Amino acid sequence: MDLSELERDNTGRCRLNSPVPAVCRKEPCVLGVDEAGRGPVLGPMVYAICYCPLSRLADLEALKVADSKTLSESERDRLFAKMEEDRNFVGWALDVLSPNLISTSMLGRVKYNLNSLSHDTAAGLVQYALHQGVNVAQVFVDTVGLPETYQERLQQCFPNIEVTVKAKADALYPVVSAASICAKVARDQAVKNWQFVEKLQDLDIDYGSGYPNVCPVQLAHSPEHPGEGSRSHYMGGLANRG
């Protein structure tokens, strides 16, 4: 996964995508949406889509994809590599949003909250797939905020597509699990190679994925509090504290 654009400038956003399989232009496809990084102290928020023909969904399930939070980093890397090998019927795309972009959006004179940013990013990726020629028939989304409200919003954006938004969709639908893996692999790589704008002395780089063992941050990403988060959690380094 080539994140060199983000590594050159980690203050904005960047989009990555795989080639669109020819079969995904011809046959009706199912598409999953998920994210990684809504509640951490470090690194970007990454939204991902993954899609495949409905006729090949069983092949995607056979890869044993699962909610990325239940997998080790090596297992996620292995599954992502397998999806890359199967690019004749599996495609993906990412939108990587920097801490700077998120903070600027939330702290601007015209407020743009995290839920709205998340909803718009997800809708933008679905629209991107359509622009790329993917024949999207069904969309499954892991919820941010109230699933009913989110589903209604997406259904209005895409009236000709069957949209389902559910809590824990990444554990219920393999195509969302696959999107979850894509998002987490990208985020892990971004955090691992993060370039801090501050000149930090004797920096201990063993800070993992950016999720500290602190109750408020864990709470913001917990199933009991979907869609909640604090702008102070989004930091590219010390200068970005809310």
Domain containing 75 equals: 3-193
Residues making up the annotated binding site for a divalent metal cation are 34-35, 142
Q: Does 160 fall in a domain? A: yes
* Binding residue positions: 34-35, 142
40 within some domain: yes
Q: How far apart are CA 60 and CA 54, in angstroms?
A: 10
What one-letter code names the amino acid at 127? Answer: Q
Domain membership flag for residue 49? yes
Nearest to 49, CA basis, from 81, 24, 17: 17
- Is 42 among the domain residues? yes
Is 218 inside any structural domain? no
Q: Over its length of 242 residues, how does the chain's per-residue pLDDT go in tens digits?
A: 777 777 777 777 889 999 999 999 999 999 999 999 886 667 889 999 999 999 999 999 999 998 888 888 999 999 999 999 999 999 999 999 988 888 888 877 787 888 999 999 999 999 999 999 999 999 999 999 999 999 999 999 999 999 999 999 999 999 999 999 999 999 988 888 766 666 666 666 665 655 555 443 343 444 433 443 333 334 443 333 33
3-state class of 31 per DSSP? strand
Q: Is residue 207 part of a domain?
A: no
pTM for the whole structure = 0.82
Cα separation values, 188 from 1, 68, 199, Å? 11, 11, 22
Q: What's the Cα-to-Cα distance from 197 to each of 175, 231, 240, rounded to whole Å? A: 36, 19, 10
Is residue 79 a part of any domain in this protein? yes
Q: Domain of 89: which CATH number?
A: 3.30.420.10
- Between the alpha carbon of residue 26 and those of residues 53, 84, 199, the distances in Å are 9, 20, 51
**pLDDT of 4:** 75
Q: Does residue 231 sit within a domain? A: no
Amino acid at 35: E
Q: How far is residue 45's CA from residue 183's CA, in Å, rounded to a whole number? A: 9
The domain total for the chain is 1
DSSP for 209-220 reads: TS--S-HHHHHH
Nearest to 151, CA basis, from 160, 94, 229, 162: 162
